Structure 1
Amino acid sequence: MPSLKRIVCLANSWKLKERCIAGIDLDTGKWIRPVCEKYTEDGRVPREVRLVEGKEPELLDILGIPLADTGTDFGFECENLTILSGRWQILGKASPASLLSFLEKTPVNLNYEDYILHNSIKYVNVSYLQSLPFPERRTLQLIHATKFCVQQKEGNKGFREWKGTLETSDGKRLTDAKITDPVFIKKLESGYQIKGEYLVTVSLSLPWAYNNWEGEPPCWKLIAGMIEISESPNEQNDLIVQTDQEIERIGWDVTQGRRYLQHKFNKQSRQQLTLWELTQFLNYLKSLPDDSDPPSESKIY
């Protein structure tokens, strides 16, 4: 019987006139990219396979997809699992706030704290990825962009393309990355104005090089999924209630909580925190045992 995996959809992006679907497995916290055996060179997912009741999967949909436990890696992708026969399902909907915890599950030994997908430039060479142990050949990453801007530029075939530049709160930056999220592109072409903060799925392309490129064809960093983080009062209040419960459990008083917020976020109260910062604070509190003393300033950073 096929294994139905529960994936929160974080990318449904253009791939050679079809789509690349990717998301995080809610049971393991790991990225999955479903690949179709029909397309042996790239694994793109055709319309007749991916549609659910005639509709495209949307970002934040929780999908049930029949998948094998392995898949063609095309020489460098560790996230790929082969699509098996069976019907795709929509099992529910995730909220942006519920995904913020996945940003903190980055393994520290993969340089992900320092870079967006392996390095500070706009591409990664296949030879570098192949030099890594297989589980570290990451080609997908979820980014919290506190700054984001877009512009249209001429692409390699003379067509106009949307390019995005993003920056994280800790200064990681990606410049002029091609946007392949069709829903976000349609919004931009309809006059959508960039605002607030975003969760961004960054993906690596298949190897490709410009004319007269020197060296091996690289994998380019793409902006494959854009999710706007709205500062919903209901979500913020819910997170504050959860932090109240955790603070009571560990036995902190108001002064101890404020001291942590001041040292960690340079803010005096939880009402001043963003959703991302509130989630960070909540996850930290959950990691503490009962009746814990606040950390010293040196251990906060």
Structure 2
Amino acid sequence: MRIICLANSYKHNGRCIAGIDEAGRWVRPVSSSQKRAIDKETRIIDGSEPQILDVLEIPLHAHGPVDGCQPENKLLKAGQWKKVSRVKPKDLLKYCEDDSVVLHNNLDHVPTSCFRMIPSYGWKSLQLIHSDNVVFEKDENNKAKWRAKFINSKGTALSLRVTDPVSCERLELGENIGKDCLLTVSMAAGWSPDKQTAKRCYKFVAGVVELNSLKQVV
């Protein structure tokens, strides 16, 4: 299957890869491991990590485990990944979904109980957002992490953890990332710190494309 790569983000001891196929549908390749992460041996192409804006050819099954909220998941097949070409940042604008909410609500998470009230055809866990007022700041609760604060075109304000490795590295080096960005927002499967707490599906900024200078942040 051919996809435009829009995320290669931290996920446990591997990566979460996600993109949009030729029909404009979201695809998240997943492994058969419990955490669904893609290991380095699988995803590396000619010695390099897949980059946002790369057009990738990835062997995938037609379906995959939805894990309660992720209909975009497709299980990996055995075989080599290929980089076919690259697209320009402006080519992604048509895929932006400037809904009044970002992935189901205005919070940084969605309670898993919500998905029992939404028909499965209405589920989604990936969304491309265009915002011209993105601000990147250290996470107040964990100074080793970064957050992206932004308002989408419908006025929805969010502050989400950034899991894009290259963006985080740039920020740690003191580089400035412009405010005009495309953000790939990804929602994880349900998680709870203990058995007493209801599970939540947390949202992350899994990919960043800077538009001010049309420089890819990856």
TM-score relative to the length of structure 2:
0.91
2: CA distance between counterparts of 1:23 and 1:130?
A: 26
Structure 1 unpaired stretches of 5+:
107-111, 233-301
Partner of 1:226: 208
Matched, 1:124 2:110: yes
Partner of 2:180: 197
Residue number among 58, 62, 66 corresponding to 1:69 in the alignment: 62
Correspondences of 1:1-301 after superposition (within 5 Å): 5-26=1-22, 28-37=23-32, 39=33, 41-103=34-96, 106=97, 113-153=99-139, 155=141, 160-175=144-159, 177-210=160-193, 215-230=197-212
Indicate the structure (1 or 2) with the bigger Cα radius of gyration: 1
Amino acid at match of 1:189: E
Q: Which gives a bigger RCO, structure 1 or 2 (Cα 8 Å, sep 6+)?
A: 2
Maintained 8 Å contact 1:64/1:89: yes
Amino acid at match of 2:154: D
| CA deviations over 1:77-129 (Å, ceiling 9, x no partner) | 100001101110001101111111112xx5xxxxx721011101111011212
Amino acid at match of 1:16: H
Task: Name the % identity.
Answer: 35
1: CA distance between counterparts of 2:138 and 2:213?
A: 28
1: CA distance between counterparts of 2:147 and 2:192?
A: 17
TM-score relative to the length of structure 1:
0.67
2: CA distance between counterparts of 1:162 and 1:152?
A: 5
2: CA distance between counterparts of 1:154 and 1:183?
A: 21
Maintained 8 Å contact 2:106/2:157: yes
Maintained 8 Å contact 1:151/1:162: yes
2: CA distance between counterparts of 1:196 and 1:219?
A: 26
Partner of 1:256: none
1: CA distance between counterparts of 2:65 and 2:35?
A: 9
Q: CA deviation at 1:163?
A: 1.2
* Aligned alpha-carbon RMSD (Å): 1.9
Higher percent of residues as helix: 1
Q: Secondary structure at the match of 1:8?
A: strand
Higher percent of residues as strand: 2
Q: Secondary structure at the match of 1:127?
A: helix
